Amino acid sequence: MNFAWNPIVWLCLGLFAMAEVGNYQMGGELRRICELVGDRGSTAKAADEQIDTICADRMPTENYLRRLEGRQERGLANRAD
């Protein structure tokens, strides 16, 4: 079997590349937050707004929170049995 043309290898490589791009973007956002927190001069309100915008993008959605609560409840119910 020729591994160079195996579609599973290419799929995994693509998923890895997507994950690395996401990590790079998150690292940039964290660097930006650190800069904004460290620079508390006359633009504190603008810095707070930018930090809030970045953090709002990282907040879990309502759908995710409902699924998480459901999993936790099922886990507790399974332990009680």
Instruction: Give the pLDDT of residue 15.
Output: 94
- Sign (positive or negative) of CA dihedral 61, 62, 67, 72: positive
Question: pLDDT tens for residues 43-80?
Answer: 677 777 877 777 777 777 788 788 878 888 887 666 65
Asked if 32 and 54 touch (Cβ cutoff 8 Å), the reply is: yes
Domain ranges, ordered by start, for the chain: 8-80
**pTM score, two decimals?**
0.49
Rounded to an integer, what is the distance from CA 43 to the centroid of its chain? Answer: 27
Count Cβ atoms below 10 Å from residue 47 Cβ, excluding itself. Answer: 19
The two structure tokens encoding residue 14: 């693509």
Reported as a pLDDT band with limits 50, 70 and 90, residue 30 is: confident
- Identity of the amino acid at 53: T
